[in-house]
Each structure stands twice: as structure tokens, then as C-alpha cells.
Amino acid sequence: MDDATRFQRLVQFRAPEYLSEAIDLAANKHLQSKSEYIRQRLIENLKADGIDVVALSGCA
């Protein structure tokens, strides 16, 4: 199953070329797709900021 069928919302942002390349390198290091790497890091940072992502997802 690809990301487009598992997730309903597309979120986009602009970034400098070097940031895109850095994300590619980090994702490859963790054997993840670029999208999965970004999702996981965002979830970690949201939790660190006190955001309950599980409650927001409706899976609580």
C-alpha cells in the first residue's frame, strides 16, 4: 500500500535544495521513504511540543 492510499491529506512546503538533499540522506540512512522520515520526525517534534497526536487522530 502506498502513502497516497494510507493517508488522506497532502501537506506541502517549500524548502531550500540543501534541506531536501539532507532529508533524502537521513531517510536513506533509516531505510525509510522521504515521506515516512518526515512524518516520523514531525510526530516526534509535535510530541516534544506537548501535542497529543494520538488524540488528534481519533485513535485514542
**Each residue's pLDDT tens digit, 22-49:** 999 999 999 999 999 999 999 999 999 9
| Within-domain flag for 27 | yes
Answer whether residue 39 is part of any domain: yes
Place 58 in a pLDDT band, splitting at 50, 70 and 90. confident
Task: Indicate whether 6 belongs to any domain.
Answer: no
Domain count, the chain: 1
Q: Which domain holds residue 29?
A: 21-51
Considering the domain boundaries, does residue 29 fall inside one? yes
Q: Is 14 inside a domain boundary?
A: no
Query: Residue 8: pLDDT band by 50, 70, 90 thresholds?
Result: confident
pLDDT at 2: 59
- Between the alpha carbon of residue 49 and those of residues 14, 43, 44, 45, the distances in Å are 23, 10, 9, 6
State what percent of residues in the chain have pLDDT above 70.
Answer: 90
pLDDT for the residue 41 = 97
